[in-house]
Amino acid sequence: MTNKWLEMSLAVPDQAVDLVSQALMDLGCTGITAAEKSLDTFIVPAPESLANDPVLKAYFIYPENAENLCLAVQQTLAKLSGIYPELAETRLDYRQLADHDWASDWQQHFPPFKVGNRLVIHPSWIDWPTSGGEVVLTLDPGQAFGTGTHATTGLCLEALANLFESSSPPQQILDVGTGSGILAMAGAALGATEVMACDIDSEACKVATENVLKNQLTQQITITDHPLDEIPGQYDLVLANILATENIRLADQLVDRLATQGCLVLSGILIEQEQQVVDGFADFPLTLLTTSHREEWTCIVYQRHIKTD
């Protein structure tokens, strides 16, 4: 079936994409794509260039009154500006697309993909026949930011898959800033017996809970909106796919949640900020295992050791 579509474009800070995406879906959006601006890794970017990255494009069946829809979106962004002040200045652009089966085209941008030797992630409209030792997750784009297609999430997934190929794969995992829940679900699907997934955004927790239910992983995964300092215990693996500044700010708490010989995966870090993060974790009893890059992003993996001095 073909429809007239309204394409709405808005630039939001990277850290607000999860929240804004969910808000747009609540307003009737049928799909979202993110087009990131390229950065020169040899020149420290101006703050305003980072604030406008990425550009979200949201697609709606064309409403009776496009201006009213845009007004509703702007009012929602104004409410969310209490969390991310930059959203108060967000500019909206929109256009009508010609009669077109856009939904079908949009789905073509999200094919199934494999991470490591075992993990497969696919959208619900594509059947994936499991074979051998594969584990399969179903996750649709547009529900929340974090389908594995974003570079930071992809780097974390690869690090996670590699750790499960080791001789002592993690059994207890803490996923900080879980978003859609994709990293928590990947850990549980690959064999972790206990996964704690936290996010201070209650809307993200709702989306993550729905995804966990859909993938029948409720026995292994607990979703909470409690902040990190309220989460007790130590874990074999701590995942923090958050901003570089948040990784540094939470460094004490992240390391405290690590069991001895446990691994810490840090992502959401621009290459330009990599050294700041390394410096921020330099005084902790950690061994740097790997540093990987994709596009303009960095993922750092540490292992906790016993401090002898």
pLDDT at 277 over 90: yes
* Average pLDDT, rounded, for the chain: 83
Tokens for 148, please give them: 């594995």
Q: Name which residue leads in pLDDT, 255 or 9.
A: 255
The model's confidence at residue 52, banded by pLDDT at 50, 70 and 90, is very low
Cβ contact 56:9 at 8 Å: yes
- List beta partners, residue 198: 176, 224
Q: Name which residue leads in pLDDT, 221 or 269.
A: 221
Q: What is the pLDDT of residue 164?
A: 95
Which residue bears the tokens 């007239």? Answer: 4
pTM value surpassing 0.95: no
pLDDT at 140 over 70: no
pLDDT at 42 over 60: no
Positions of E strands within the chain: 3-11, 31-35, 55-61, 92-100, 113-115, 119-122, 135-138, 172-176, 194-198, 221-224, 235-241, 258-270, 286-294, 297-304
Q: What is the pLDDT of residue 53?
A: 53
Q: What is the pLDDT of residue 51?
A: 43
Q: What is the pLDDT of residue 22?
A: 72
pLDDT at 36 over 70: no
What is the average pLDDT across 205-225? 92
**C-alpha distances in Å from residue 236, one per residue of 54, 82, 102, 256:** 33, 35, 44, 12
What is the average pLDDT across 115-134? 78
The domains of the chain, with CATH numbers, are 3-107 (3.30.70.120), 141-304 (3.40.50.150)
Which of 200, 198, 121 has its CA nearest to residue 161?
121
The model's confidence at residue 107, banded by pLDDT at 50, 70 and 90, is low
Q: What is the pLDDT of residue 23?
A: 82
Tokens for 175, please give them: 């996923």
- List beta partners, residue 135: 119
Q: Tell me which range, 93-102, 122-131, 216-225, is most confidently predicted by mean pLDDT.
A: 216-225
